[in-house]
Structure formats: C-alpha cells, structure tokens
Structure 1
C-alpha cells in the first residue's frame, strides 16, 4: 500500500487543513504551559493525537502512521537520547570522584560573579559544544556545569537553552547550512554568508539578554563591559568566518575567541559588586555570622596539575566530539569511508559492522509527495560507533582511569544515570515520533504552505517563523532546513524575494525555536535533575522564544527592503 500526501485533505481547503494540522502542536503547548503535564505524559499523548489525526484527517494508513512513529522513536533514542545518557554520566563521574569541586573552584578563581559565569559557561562554552557536536550535548553539559557551580536548576537549564540560540545555525560543524545545498541547489557558502549577516546581531544581543533575565537592568549595567567583550568578540568572529571560511567553523572559532577574550579581560577588570542569587546571599550571611564566632576556614588552593586533571573529562569530551565531527572521520565511523588511509579503513570496517539501517515496514518507498514523484526511503538509522554519544562515552571510559574509579563504581554510576533519565528518554522518543508522523502525513507542509500564502509584503517577516516551527517540531535546525528549505526557495522566487535570504531566514528563525523544542526541554531537564518539571521550563522559555523570532522576522523584513544591500 502506498500513500500520496495531500496537503488540503479537509474539504480541499488549505486553511481548514492547516487548522487541523495545528491541533497536535496547540495541544502540546496547552499540555505543558497550561495543564502542566509531565514531559513524558505530554509527549505520549501528543504522539497519540498526531497519529489519530494523521489517520482520520490526512488519510494515512494506520500501519504506516504507527511505523513512522516507531522510526522517530528509534531516532529519538539514538543518537539524541544516547547523548543525554553519556553527557549526564560523564558529569556524574566528575561529581562522584570529587573532581567537580576543583572545577567549581577554578571557575570561581576567574570570577565569582554569577552573571559572568553564565557568559563563560552557557554562552561561550555552550557554543563550542554546539559547534562540535550539536544535538543535546551543549545544553546537557553546560547546564550541568552551572548547577554544579550553584545555579538553580531551572535557571541553569533556561539560560543554557536561550544562550544556545546564537550558535545553532552553524552547529555540528555547519551541518544545518550544508544540508540546505542538496534540496535547494543553492551553494552552502552563499547561505552561510547571509546567515552571517543576520545572527551576529543576535549574538551581540544574547549575552546582554541573558544577564538581563538573571539580574535586571541595574545589575546588567554593572557588567556591560564584559557583556560587550563577550558578544562583540563572538559576533565579529562569526561574521568573518561565515563569510570568508564557510559554514563549518563559525561556532568553533567564535566560541574560542569569546572564551579567551573574556578570560583575559577578567584578569584586568572586575565588576564593582559580586552578583549572587538571593538564596546564596542568605547562605553567605549565615556563614559570615558563624565565621565571627569560629576560626575562618582555611582557603584551599589547587595546583595547575590538579585543575587540569579535574577539567580533563571535559577536555576529553571536547576532543572526542570534535574528532567525531570531522567529515572524513565521521564517514569512517559510519562505515562509508572510501579513501585509502589505512587507519580510517580499519575504523570503517568496525563502523560498518556497528551500523544498522533496516527498512521501516509499510513506510520505506511507500510515501510520495505527489503523484509521479520519487518515493521517499525510510530506514531505522542506527550508527552505534558514529553517534556523538559514543564519543562522550569514550571520554567517560578514559575518565575512569584518570580519576581512579573502580569498574564497579563506574558501572553503578552508569546504572544510576539510566534510571535518572528514563522518563526524558520516553519524552524524546515520543516527541520525535510525533515529528515523524506529522511530516509523513504532510501536516508540517500544510502549515508551511499556509504561512507562505501571507504574500510579498508579509512573507519576509513570516519566513523565519517557518524555521521556528520546523525546529519546534523536529528539534533540529538541520531537519527544519531540509523540511522547509525548498518551500522557502520556491515561495521567495514567486514573490520576488531573494531565495538566499529566505533560506537564511529559515535557519536563523529556527535557532529561536530550539529553546522550546520538546527534545531540548527534555534534554535540559534530564541534565539538571528537573525530570517531570518540563512544563516549568517550557513556560520559562516560550516568551523568550517568541520575542527573539519576532526580532529575526523584523530583521529579515528589513533586509528584504531597505537593507537589501546586505544580501550577498
């Protein structure tokens, strides 16, 4: 049995069909923001609703809808869920071995100010991890680090999700931009240039916005010099690298320049007051009273070697996920290497033996976008060695020897990690399954086609909202670009808009949807111990997501009209 997608299945009317297609998304918003359901309950019920509407309204065969959901669930577990497990596990190893106390001390030696720690960890270090690995690693690792430093879990998760907007478009060695070239035929470098003339404005603004959310306007002014150093160093490097080097390195280079610039700057400049959260100030006052009655505790000093050892798990993580992201090595790890290097050929043999791609029953080559179009292949893609989570696990294995942990405790810690993240894994499997179902049914395209009908005057503003919607649904800027890239191009050409601008708008708008994507919410909650409180984090981020996508929409509208000279 085959299925030809129909984008106007309800009465032949696009707007009515779009209203039906919107129901699962609105339900998910209601479930988290209003009903305050736990993430896995919201995810499972949203998936069930999507399957029902796909079958009843969009006429998808029942077996096909169910198997498409299973395909998404498998992808949700590997590679996305695997990244969460490995990331949280690595963090727990540093805590159990006592190394995180030294990490905390080393960060405090740079600055004790929570505002500046957020810029260093959430913004700069998180951007580096996004550039190297993508998926859930940046939020999982950086949020866990902030919690370890003393941040409230909700704040840590929320700030890292918001900070992660600046680097997402160039994440995972530029994968979202590179992915656009295939379906659209527009060179990735041209799209990279255009994105590099949009996101730097956001990258300057995000450090300010993070601190403002944390501390308010008065306390933000106190650290404005540091905010400017962080944002300007990042955005200038992002512009230069994206316009002259391509889409692969903007995140890596920008984050490194920002980290180094901030570390050097803070050697010579300090804020007038040290900002801490209210609960910390109360605790500090209690300690001060006790210190007046007893001898002051001895200050602990760590050697450079001790600090390096403590940070080594995250240095190893950075090294392994960077290595895993190099295209040639990635192809060998997945069993697709065709070169002559002997080492990579050996890796290729192992990678091939650990790569499984069985066809999805009832779905593989059974779905057509229109009559006469090519069938869509569908596989359960399971690349065990090439997965970024495996790179993190290797760092965790080496860490076991560095910190001197026994295999018994190492295995016990891994078991504890699995137990902690079991519900987030269910959440991710269900919401990715939901994304696959509505994509297969054509519901996502129906919504996109509706937005594209806004016309020559309004479409440039709404163009980023397509990317925002795509990332919310799929959890990935890469997937959103593949999903809506060609639609953006065709619509732009029909209304006289430069297609390069439309494709860049899709990716730039998409970054603002990352912080409310169900996958991202689940990853962040798992990393900071907020399992079951996904609704609280969603309510924290939704207003910021909408505000930022509107800013991107205004920027694209201006670039399409009065600022058209910015288009390459």
Structure 2
C-alpha cells in the first residue's frame, strides 16, 4: 500500500521535473489518477470523492483570489509608472541587486508572513522582485526559497499556536515555539546564502560575504530571541522588521563595493521624470498594505478572519489597497482594467490549484498520507527527528500549509515519541520546522507564485531549482533535531 500511496506524489514530480510539463497539464491528470486509486484500491465511495473534489476546487478558488489581488497590485504599479519610481528609490538605497534580493525576497517575506501568512509573502514579494529588475523565473524561485522559515509561525503565530492545539496535553505552547525557534535559527542563518547560491552561483558571493554574514546572524538571532523570550505571536513579524532595518543600516553605515555584474541600474526613463509619481505616492500602496495587514490580523479573532477562508480576508485587503492606490496615483478610472487584466492572467492557475488541492483532500481521506507517514516512522528508530522533519515537509507538500501538516501529523508524532521514549517537544518542533521548509517545494505554492509573475508552464523549473535547497535544510534540521533529542534535551 505504501507504493500505491506514493503514486500521486511521484506522478507530480516526474511530470513537472522530468517531463517538464506544465502544472496545468500534470495537475488534472494527477487528480484523475488519484480518483482512480481512491475508488478502485481504497474503496472510497463516489459521493465522498465528489465532495472532496468540490472542496479542493473551492479552496483553490480562494487561493487564486489572493493571487489575483496580488497580480492586480503589480499591474497597477506598472500601469501608473509607480514601479519606475520604486526602482529609482531602491537604487538610491543600494546599487547591489543581491542585497535587494535578500531585503525583499527574504526579510520582507518574513515580515509579510508574520503580518498575514497564507501565501502573502510570495504573492507580494515575487512581483516586487520582477519590478526591480529580476527575471520572472528568478523572482519565483526567490519567492519560494525566501518563504521556507517563517511559516513555522505564520500570521500572528497561528501555525504554531493552532498546530499545537492538537498536542496541547503533551507539551506547553511556549516550549514548543522556543525549541522550534532554536532549530529554525539554523535555517534562518543559511537561507541568505542558499538564495544567492541558487540564483547566482558561487560567484554571487563576490564582495557580499560581510553582508551575508551580517544579515544571517541578525535574522538567526532574531528568531532565537523572540521565540525564547517573547512568544510565538510576533516571531515572523518582528524578525522580518529587524532584518529590513538591519539591512538599511548596513548599506548606509558600511562601505560596500558592488561588482559591475551585480550592479542595479534602473532602466532609463523614456519620459520626463516629473511625470512619474512621487516617492510617497509610489510607495503608498505598500505602506498601506504593511500597516493594514497586521492591524487587521491582530484586531480580529482567528475564527472571524477564517469564516470564509483565511486567504479571503487577505485578498480583500489587497484589493482595497489597489483601489486606494488607484485613487492616490490618479488612476481610479483604470481600476477595472487592473482587475480585468490580472484576472485573465490567473485563470489558468485555477485549474492547477483546484486539481492539486483535490488530490490533497482525497489522499488525506483515503489514508494515503497516513500510510506514508506511518511507514516512515516505523523505520526511524533513534533517527525519528529526521523523519519528523520529512513528514512535516510531506504534509505541507500535499496540503499546502504548515498548519495543516501540524494538525494532520502532530498526534502521530506524540504517540511515536512516547513509544520510542523520545522528547515530545523536540519531535513536535522538528515537525513544525519541517512543515515550513515544505513550502519551498509545495506544488500548490509553486503554481501560485508562477501565476503572480506570469511564468505558468515553468513550474517544473522552479521546483527543480528549489529541491536541493530544501534537501540541505532537511539534513540540517534533521541533524539538529537528533542532537537536541538525544543529547541536549535528553
């Protein structure tokens, strides 16, 4: 049954990476295959299959609603020439586009994860990176890699807080968050280097090693400090803000020579610079957004925001920001154009997203995921912390969220830890951080980021580029988890 349960996952990987087929082709075929297995092998009745498929399509529509809003914001910024002003302003902050890559694709991504979560970082940061000169494919890869740490906490700490609720009788919340932070700080230290190497190769570190070390230490220490001495609610929000501020201080205080090949020079403006928006107006949409998201998130109970689907309120906020931005940028009459143009771009992604989420639902209901996870745990023994990281990633790979992974597998880990006489806190923490890095290779998230930067059809390339980085973090987290479980927190 294990091999049969793995078939949908293998089919996706082969289709997207080996055969290089678009998700819009692979996803529906995977759904058909999964339905066949569910009906023939797992004896799932047709009514349940239809219900889980409808549920998946509905959830996919909600995520695409978020992608649509983010794309509309990019279209507005480009149409009003606000993005040109943003480019000029960022070039005045630093002429090194590698630093901009880390500031936007990593630090700003962490901040947005804490402000809202649920795919907001990649939806906003990837188009932003395109706007400042990165290729759409590079921006998509950066968006995926930059979102591999903070989702352990998500918007207002929801991933850890709600995920912990299913294991609350076994371990205290603060300790679960603290140990998760101790493991995640190693990932936070590595991600800036991983992003540079993945996108630019070893030559990308030329003249940048001091900044990489600086920002790696800052973000790593931030995760450690906030998780261990403050609490789970502001881990991502605080760490992201600290990273952005630290980067701004670095480029202003320390002398930095940028190699010519990595120098960021905005394209020459073909019209009078006075015709483009002022700095205040150009940045107004982002300013409103980074204020509105955390204010709304911390002002309402999670149940209220999740009433129609957690991502729905985020998308509504972004659409309102696009409306206000259109007003501020004197382009209100073009608002319908922004909405229509962005909608046409994301419709194909809806097919992929709905299919993939339906596959996830059916795999959960048939027990395929549980079979895979249980099989891994049966062979683990003292290496169980490594397996916990892998299972956490597996849950996110299929379900699309670290929270879903925690809820799905948290109780199983507690039972395994008890049987193996292992520390339940370190095992849950391994699951929690594993769920976060699962975001880096999650097909649902890849489809979403590809849609926001108009690279649908290249999902396999994105995944192929992210898998080695994911593998490195699985190894590091697994090793740290083993050391914590068998030596430090024995």
Q: Give the TM-score, by structure 1 length.
A: 0.82
Residue in 2 that maps onto 1:81: 64
Residue in 2 that maps onto 1:54: 38
- Counterparts of 2:318 and 2:474, CA distance in 1: 32
Structure holding more helix per residue: 2
Do 1:330 and 1:386's aligned partners in 2 also have CA atoms closer than 8 Å?
no
Do 1:229 and 1:258's aligned partners in 2 also have CA atoms closer than 8 Å?
no
| Correspondence 1:551 to 2:472 | no
Do 2:406 and 2:432's aligned partners in 1 also have CA atoms closer than 8 Å?
yes
Shift of 1:327: 5.8
Residue in 2 that maps onto 1:261: 246
Among 90, 102, 126, which residue is 1:107 paired with? 90
Q: Secondary structure at the match of 1:77?
A: helix
Shift of 1:131: 1.1
Q: How does 1:345-364 map to 2 (within 5 A)?
A: none
Shift of 1:515: 1.4
Residue in 2 that maps onto 1:209: 194
Do 2:222 and 2:239's aligned partners in 1 also have CA atoms closer than 8 Å?
yes
Among 407, 419, 428, which residue is 1:482 paired with? 407
Among 107, 111, 119, which residue is 1:128 paired with? 111
- Counterparts of 2:429 and 2:35, CA distance in 1: 32
- Counterparts of 1:385 and 1:470, CA distance in 2: 19
Q: Relative to 1, partners in 2 of residues 1:406 and 1:327: Cα closer, same or farther, differing over 3 Å?
A: closer
- Counterparts of 2:310 and 2:2, CA distance in 1: 38
Q: Relative to 1, partners in 2 of residues 1:99 and 1:298: Cα closer, same or farther, differing over 3 Å?
A: closer
| Correspondence 1:398 to 2:324 | yes
Residue in 1 that maps onto 2:51: 67
Shift of 1:231: 1.6
| Correspondence 1:320 to 2:245 | no
Moved more, 542-551 or 423-432: 542-551
Shift of 1:387: 2.2
Residue in 2 that maps onto 1:466: 391
Among 257, 261, 282, which residue is 1:272 paired with? 257
Q: Relative to 1, partners in 2 of residues 1:161 and 1:385: Cα closer, same or farther, differing over 3 Å?
A: closer
Moved more, 191-200 or 163-172: 163-172
Residue in 1 that maps onto 2:445: 520
Do 2:27 and 2:352's aligned partners in 1 also have CA atoms closer than 8 Å?
yes
Do 2:226 and 2:235's aligned partners in 1 also have CA atoms closer than 8 Å?
yes
Shift of 1:426: 1.5
Largest Rg, 1 or 2? 1
Q: Relative to 1, partners in 2 of residues 1:270 and 1:140: Cα closer, same or farther, differing over 3 Å?
A: farther
Shift of 1:64: 0.7
Q: Secondary structure at the match of 2:95?
A: coil
Residue in 2 that maps onto 1:7: none
Do 2:116 and 2:297's aligned partners in 1 also have CA atoms closer than 8 Å?
yes
Do 1:468 and 1:513's aligned partners in 2 also have CA atoms closer than 8 Å?
yes
| Correspondence 1:529 to 2:462 | no
Q: Give the TM-score, by structure 2 length.
A: 0.94
- Counterparts of 1:438 and 1:479, CA distance in 2: 13
Residue in 2 that maps onto 1:184: 167
Q: How does 1:230-249 map to 2 (within 5 A)?
A: 230-249=215-234
- Counterparts of 2:260 and 2:476, CA distance in 1: 29
Residue in 1 that maps onto 2:145: 162
Moved more, 320-329 or 193-202: 320-329
Do 2:66 and 2:312's aligned partners in 1 also have CA atoms closer than 8 Å?
no
Moved more, 173-182 or 86-95: 173-182
Q: Secondary structure at the match of 2:232?
A: coil
| Correspondence 1:456 to 2:375 | no
Shift of 1:543: 2.1
Moved more, 219-228 or 434-443: 219-228
- Counterparts of 1:487 and 1:62, CA distance in 2: 28
- Counterparts of 1:446 and 1:269, CA distance in 2: 53
Shift of 1:317: 1.6
Among 24, 28, 31, which residue is 1:40 paired with? 24
Do 1:174 and 1:247's aligned partners in 2 also have CA atoms closer than 8 Å?
yes
Q: Deviations over 1:64-104 (max 9, x none)?
A: 112111112211211x2211011111111111011110111
- Counterparts of 1:38 and 1:91, CA distance in 2: 23
Moved more, 547-556 or 267-276: 267-276
Shift of 1:157: 0.8
Do 2:70 and 2:318's aligned partners in 1 also have CA atoms closer than 8 Å?
yes
- Counterparts of 1:230 and 1:560, CA distance in 2: 29
Shift of 1:268: 2.1
**How many correspondences in the alignment?**
488
Among 497, 502, 505, which residue is 2:422 paired with? 497
What runs of 5+ residues in structure 2 fail to find an aligned partner?
none
- Counterparts of 2:224 and 2:402, CA distance in 1: 19
Do 2:194 and 2:469's aligned partners in 1 also have CA atoms closer than 8 Å?
no
Among 81, 92, 100, which residue is 1:98 paired with? 81
- Counterparts of 2:438 and 2:305, CA distance in 1: 30
Q: Deviations over 1:314-348 (max 9, x none)?
A: 111222221332263555556xxxxxxxxxxxxxx
Q: Secondary structure at the match of 2:300?
A: helix
- Counterparts of 1:56 and 1:111, CA distance in 2: 59
- Counterparts of 1:229 and 1:384, CA distance in 2: 35
- Counterparts of 1:520 and 1:267, CA distance in 2: 35
Moved more, 419-428 or 305-314: 305-314
Do 1:114 and 1:276's aligned partners in 2 also have CA atoms closer than 8 Å?
no
Do 1:324 and 1:330's aligned partners in 2 also have CA atoms closer than 8 Å?
no
Do 1:115 and 1:275's aligned partners in 2 also have CA atoms closer than 8 Å?
no
Shift of 1:275: 5.1
Shift of 1:199: 0.5
Shift of 1:301: 8.8
Q: Relative to 1, partners in 2 of residues 1:538 and 1:397: Cα closer, same or farther, differing over 3 Å?
A: same
Shift of 1:228: 2.1
